[in-house]
Structure 1
Amino acid sequence: MAPPTIGRKSKPSGRGGKNDVRSLKRKRDVEDHIKLQKAVEELDPKAETKSFSDLPLSEPTSKGLEASHFKTLTDIQSKSIPLALKGKDILGAAKTGSGKTLAFLVPVLENLYRQKWTEFDGLGALIISPTRELAIQIFEVLRKIGRYHTFSAGLVIGGRSLQEEQERLGRMNILVCTPGRMLQHMDQTAAFEIDNLQMLVMDEADRIMDMGFSKAVDAIVEHLPKQRQTMLFSATQTKKVSDLARLSLRDPEYVAVHEAAASATPTTLQQYYVVTPLADKLDTLFSFIRSNLKAKIIVFLSSGKQVRFVYESFRHLQPGIPLMHLHGRQKQAARLDITAKFSSSKNSCIFATDVVARGLDFPAVDWVIQLDCPEDADTYIHRVGRTARYERAGKAVLFLDPSEEEGMLKRLDQKKVPIQMTKPRSKKQQSIKDQLQNMCFQDPELKYLGQKAFVSYTRSIYVQKDKEIFTINNYDLEGYASSMGLPGAPKIKFQKGDDSKKIKNTPRALLSSDEDSDVEAGSKKPKKGEVRTKYDRMFERRNQDVLSGHYSKLIAEDEPERPDDGLVDADEDNDFLSVKRVVPMDEDSSDDEEVASGPVAKVISGIGREPIVVDSKRREKLLKSKKKLLKLKEKGQKVVFDEDGVAHQMYELEDEDDFARRGTVEAQRAKFLQAETARVQEADLDDKQLAKTKKREKREKKRLREADEKAGIVDGEALELAGDGGDPLALLASLPLDGEEEAPTVKRPKKWFEDDSDQEREAPKKKRRLIEAEDEPETLEDLEALAAGLLQ
């Protein structure tokens, strides 16, 4: 025997030791939670805190912040995080680039940690962002600072597979999403439950509560529980009572750290504006880019079609700097790729819409150029916030048309935005009008993009609410079209409608004089410097249909003769002036009665509400067009047939008196709910009974199948039936008759390629075709003969 060990401690058994360690760890975690909860309760929200270490944060959050190099608190973080840790509803407003993302992500992690939230508790926090790019950025920050937590977090945005998101959605504790896709999951994903939601966060809340997202946000809030913590953050916070009431906020704390500041934008941001006519905007922009080839520039435009045109045209001009473009119509993968490229580049220029204007953090942006005037001062503040972030320096330039200058400067002054005027240097000014015109002439696709960009820009001005800044008649649209290289300004529908209204309301005397003046003006020769193409000459021709009457006669000769029904061409009439034909509609008037001057018209009834009068060739052609005849027909009504075959409308309104006679609305509602509840219960009972019957039948089939299998093993041959519905006569015919002996089963000899196990395995099988070989094949000829037999 081995000598006993002296001085060694005996190890506890493996299972008991592990349990002790787990229980100690669990006990330590409980104590930490109690200490953390007590520290949060004792926290003074008004006390000044400068670093994250001064806050009562959990160990996983502290480690995540330290690993991500977040140590000191910004103004918005120091004032909002203590209030959020105590469970208060918050309205947070701070300048762009002031660290609002951490101001709501840290409380989200801490509140769920203190409640011991697990994946089995469902969704605990919902973070809503207006754009996909901002949602992705928030999710990346959440992954960094929450890397040591055990929560599951998900990103739900458009442009991805809905099915993949549905499979994972039920296991998420924190969701970062856009409003549209979130509402889609609430309506379509069955496993998605939000009854236990603890926190709702809206980043860029004023944009989310705006008209573009209002319906989606209202629908989302209806699904959420009333008892929750709500936090709204933005650089320009909404204070409307209606907006706050829609979100069910409870005594919200308004945290505005820069409200008393002298300006609404960062102090390190230099802001300028340039007054340039609309026709010179592209020239000035190209000259600016050529002068700043080693800078990182963001150029904002009002629509995605303008972004495409400016990007494609400048790309052909090759200014000497990498060009990119980003707008909402691009696919999600392309948007992510462009965003990553621009973030990692040192010097480049990106043309973008307001998709990029909010929340996105592009490092080291030097210039923000607003080629198109923003719709309001809030949009201006968010656009220029892409530069001068986190106390870095930056510059911004706003391009203004002379008609926009006074109104826009007034709006910026009201928002405390310091901006000063500057002028471009005339020596460095370049003109690209001739080059753009040449490119549009050679490339029809670029010309098409230019036309679409022109229309979208004009519409964006027309629909603006602030008419003090945006008045469509004050813009030089013809000059803008020529500066884009277009041969002329495209026609726009809303302008055409306005012109038609003016013509309709003009007195006839003035209208005739205007037409005469137009004819005289049209007869004038074009200016010497104006270029007229063959298409212009073609469209200026008059009397283009002078041969139409003769051509119709030639066609009529080839067709079979038709009886004269009075429908003749106007050219064949003897009257110089065409007169409207009067049709007799009275029943007393006879067919032979002569009516007015001109041939008798044909009257066709039964198509529409009123009979159709065919008094010209135009009206006759109308009868051949199904599309135009539909306008004359009455709208059809959908009918259903009852059991007796009587047709009636699909939906019939009940009389109010009959409805009131049956009782009050509450009583009828209660009665309807009671009846529906009883019906659902009966259907539930029927379903359960049906499920039991199916289960019993399945069990019986399984039992019979097992019995058949056992019988097949004992007898050595399985008796095959046709199933439950098999023919019993076939079974009786297979049995031996009286006095007959059942033929003994002859065991076939074992082949050379078989062993005992193979023969036993093949015993219960039937209808198997065997090719017998007397001896084992030795030569190639024997193998070929065996293969031929198998193939046959």
Structure 2
Amino acid sequence: MSFKSLGLSDAFVKAVEEKGYTKPSPIQEKAIPHILEGKDVLASAQTGTGKTAGFTLPVLQYLSETKHQKYRPIRALVLTPTRELAAQVHDNVREYSKYVNIKSAVVFGGVKAASQIATLKRGVDILVATPGRLLDLHDQKAVSFKRIDVFILDEADRMLDMGFVRDINKIISYMPAKRQNLMFSATFSKEIKKLASGILRNPVEVETAPQNSTAKKVSHKVYKIDKKKKTEFTIKLIKDNNWNQVLIFTRTKHGANRLTQNLIKSRISAAAIHGNKSQGARTKALKNFKDNTIKVLVATDIAARGLDIPLLPYVINYELPNVPEDYVHRIGRTGRAGAEGEAISLVCSEETEYQKEIEKLLKENLKSVIVEGFEPTDTAPPKRAATQSKGSFGKKKKPADGKKDAPKKSKRPNNHKRRKPANTSGRSRSGAAKSKRN
């Protein structure tokens, strides 16, 4: 199977080949043909398996094959839960569309809106956005959804986790009823299925691996550690093994800052990334980590999605997440695109319940090791993990990009057939004239 045989044009085949992709990943093989045919798609795959290319490539081909007026209305909208993921998706859109006449833009909070508004005024074919900033721009009449042909929810489960359901419904209420809808995520809970049923119309379900599974080439190791010795042990791991690129996850922003300071004091270059950091600081920290200017990036779960770091060898769970699905997304930063990776977890006595729930989710036991001198001596009872996914359907939470949930819940449209764009070329989405759109 090749990208050409999937129905992609030479311009997109050339673009992906320049990125070093020689053949489609399983999720791309299964999703791209259906999207090119104009079908609604509900797709689930392990993180790091090429989901972004799975939806951006066929959508970009559709946009390139349909004529547009001099003024470019937004015809494709990608919603993501975090700024980092929005930026990453937009980078991919630009790389894949370098040989076609497609204009794209990204908007998210944490930065001034003026430049974003100026870009939108010049015309955009495909927009990548976080919900909060997008609704702000809509309220300012800087963006219109009246010509949307394709709507994509990326990392839909994280959207739900972060309380974006009302914002999503509100954005949908401004769109044409006739459109194509795509929903991509690494995991699907019952709540996500419920969300999908209100957005997608007769979707094709695509799954390339068991839900909540992790990449096969990622090895898991658990160190049973005394809570007060976690920082000392983390420093020992990095120094003794001479690790040069390590992503570490903490549960809290304060914990991320404190660990970063202690690493720097131990002469290990490090930076923290979390919701209280300015967008400029977050962007700089991620850039420095990617180009190996710093060895360690300490992050909260806001960074578990959207961090695409090629060949990242190590992820450390300094603290286990209290929602087991987040473990999947954290360690999904390593072992990407078939590479090997190592996921290390430091578990104290009060986190044993979290470990059990993660093992239940993964359907496997994580190998545990006790290191001399760091034996767990604390006797704190296990903290109980969340009784349900933190993404309880409709639960109100503060989103990461600083926009509060919309006050009212909008009605979802009942008819989601695609609205035929003006002045289309008359060709099918794949370029093969006999295909019909839903």
TM-score greater than 0.5 by the shorter chain:
yes
Q: How far does residue 355 in structure 1 lie from its aligned partner after superposition?
A: 2.1
Structure-1-length-normalised TM-score: 0.46
CA distance in 2, matches of 1:406, 1:105: 39
The answer to whether structure 1 residue 264 and structure 2 residue 219 are counterparts is no
- What is residue 404 of structure 1 aligned with on the other side? 351
CA distance in 2, matches of 1:193, 1:404: 47
2:92 corresponds to which letter in structure 1? V
CA distance in 1, matches of 2:91, 2:70: 20
Alpha-carbon contact 2:289-2:295 (below 8 Å) kept: yes
1:350 corresponds to which letter in structure 2? L
- What is residue 117 of structure 1 aligned with on the other side? 68
- What is residue 407 of structure 2 aligned with on the other side? none
Q: How far does residue 174 in structure 1 lie from its aligned partner after superposition?
A: 0.5
Q: How far does residue 107 in structure 1 lie from its aligned partner after superposition?
A: 1.3
Q: Which structure features the higher share of helix residues?
A: 1
- What is residue 270 of structure 2 aligned with on the other side? 323
CA distance in 1, matches of 2:30, 2:218: 24
Alpha-carbon contact 2:270-2:294 (below 8 Å) kept: no
Q: How far does residue 130 in structure 1 lie from its aligned partner after superposition?
A: 1.1
2:174 corresponds to which letter in structure 1? H
- What is residue 309 of structure 1 aligned with on the other side? 258
Alpha-carbon contact 1:268-1:394 (below 8 Å) kept: yes
2:118 corresponds to which letter in structure 1? E
Q: How far does residue 92 in structure 1 lie from its aligned partner after superposition?
A: 1.0
Paired-residue identity, %: 30
Q: How does 1:113-512 map to 2 (within 5 A)?
A: 113-118=64-69, 120-170=71-121, 171-188=123-140, 190-240=141-191, 241-246=193-198, 248-259=199-210, 264-318=213-267, 321-345=268-292, 348-417=295-364, 419-426=366-373, 465-466=386-387
1:328 corresponds to which letter in structure 2? G
Alpha-carbon contact 1:298-1:368 (below 8 Å) kept: yes
Q: How far does residue 297 in structure 1 lie from its aligned partner after superposition?
A: 0.9
Q: Secondary structure at the match of 1:109?
A: helix
Task: Choose between structure 1 and 2 for higher RCO, CA contacts under 8 A separated by at least 6 residues.
Answer: 2
Q: How far does residue 381 in structure 1 lie from its aligned partner after superposition?
A: 0.3
CA distance in 2, matches of 1:151, 1:425: 59
Q: How far does residue 346 in structure 1 lie from its aligned partner after superposition?
A: 7.6
Over residues 689-724 of structure 1, what are the superposed CA-to-partner deviations in whole Å (9 max), with x where a residue is unaligned?
Answer: xxxxxxxxxxxxxxxxxxxxxxxxxxxxxxxxxxxx
Alpha-carbon contact 1:296-1:364 (below 8 Å) kept: no
Q: How far does residue 238 in structure 1 lie from its aligned partner after superposition?
A: 4.1
CA distance in 1, matches of 2:239, 2:142: 55
CA distance in 2, matches of 1:211, 1:325: 21
2:129 corresponds to which letter in structure 1? C
Alpha-carbon contact 2:223-2:369 (below 8 Å) kept: yes
Q: How far does residue 418 in structure 1 lie from its aligned partner after superposition?
A: 5.1
Q: How far does residue 95 in structure 1 lie from its aligned partner after superposition?
A: 1.0
Q: Secondary structure at the match of 2:71?
A: helix
Alpha-carbon contact 2:271-2:294 (below 8 Å) kept: no
Q: Secondary structure at the match of 2:148?
A: coil
Over residues 546-591 of structure 1, what are the superposed CA-to-partner deviations in whole Å (9 max), with x where a residue is unaligned?
Answer: xxxxxxxxxxxxxxxxxxxxxxxxxxxxxxxxxxxxxxxxxxxxxx
CA distance in 2, matches of 1:332, 1:292: 32
Runs of 4+ in 1 over 4 A off after TM superposition: none
Aligned residues: 381
Deviates more, 1:342-351 or 1:101-110: 342-351
- What is residue 80 of structure 1 aligned with on the other side? 31
Q: Secondary structure at the match of 2:338?
A: coil
Structure 1 residues 90 and 419: CA distance shift in structure 2, 3 A: same
Q: Which runs of 5+ in 2 are unaligned?
A: 389-438
Alpha-carbon contact 1:297-1:365 (below 8 Å) kept: yes
Structure 1 residues 332 and 258: CA distance shift in structure 2, 3 A: same
Q: Which structure features the higher share of strand residues?
A: 2
Structure 1 residues 362 and 119: CA distance shift in structure 2, 3 A: farther
CA distance in 2, matches of 1:207, 1:135: 13
Alpha-carbon contact 1:264-1:417 (below 8 Å) kept: no
2:200 corresponds to which letter in structure 1? L
Alpha-carbon contact 1:271-1:420 (below 8 Å) kept: yes
CA distance in 1, matches of 2:95, 2:283: 19
CA distance in 2, matches of 1:76, 1:292: 35
Structure 1 residues 418 and 296: CA distance shift in structure 2, 3 A: farther
Q: How far does residue 417 in structure 1 lie from its aligned partner after superposition?
A: 4.8
CA distance in 2, matches of 1:312, 1:118: 54
Aligned to 2:47, which of 93, 96, 102? 96
2:340 corresponds to which letter in structure 1? A
Alpha-carbon contact 1:323-1:348 (below 8 Å) kept: yes
Q: Secondary structure at the match of 2:346?
A: strand
2:249 corresponds to which letter in structure 1? F
Structure 1 residues 256 and 418: CA distance shift in structure 2, 3 A: farther
Structure 1 residues 286 and 100: CA distance shift in structure 2, 3 A: same
1:233 corresponds to which letter in structure 2? F
Q: Secondary structure at the match of 2:136?
A: helix
Q: Secondary structure at the match of 2:337?
A: coil
CA distance in 1, matches of 2:139, 2:214: 40
CA distance in 1, matches of 2:248, 2:151: 33
Q: Secondary structure at the match of 1:390?
A: helix
- What is residue 17 of structure 1 aligned with on the other side? none
Q: How far does residue 406 in structure 1 lie from its aligned partner after superposition?
A: 4.3
2:73 corresponds to which letter in structure 1? G
Over residues 604-630 of structure 1, what are the superposed CA-to-partner deviations in whole Å (9 max), with x where a residue is unaligned?
Answer: xxxxxxxxxxxxxxxxxxxxxxxxxxx
Q: How far does residue 237 in structure 1 lie from its aligned partner after superposition?
A: 2.5
Q: How far does residue 140 in structure 1 lie from its aligned partner after superposition?
A: 1.0
Which structure would you say has the larger Rg?
A: 1
Q: Which runs of 5+ in 1 are unaligned?
A: 1-49, 431-457, 468-792
Q: How far does residue 195 in structure 1 lie from its aligned partner after superposition?
A: 0.9
Q: How far does residue 244 in structure 1 lie from its aligned partner after superposition?
A: 1.7
Over residues 427-464 of structure 1, what are the superposed CA-to-partner deviations in whole Å (9 max), with x where a residue is unaligned?
Answer: xx69xxxxxxxxxxxxxxxxxxxxxxxxxxx9xx79x6
CA distance in 1, matches of 2:258, 2:288: 21
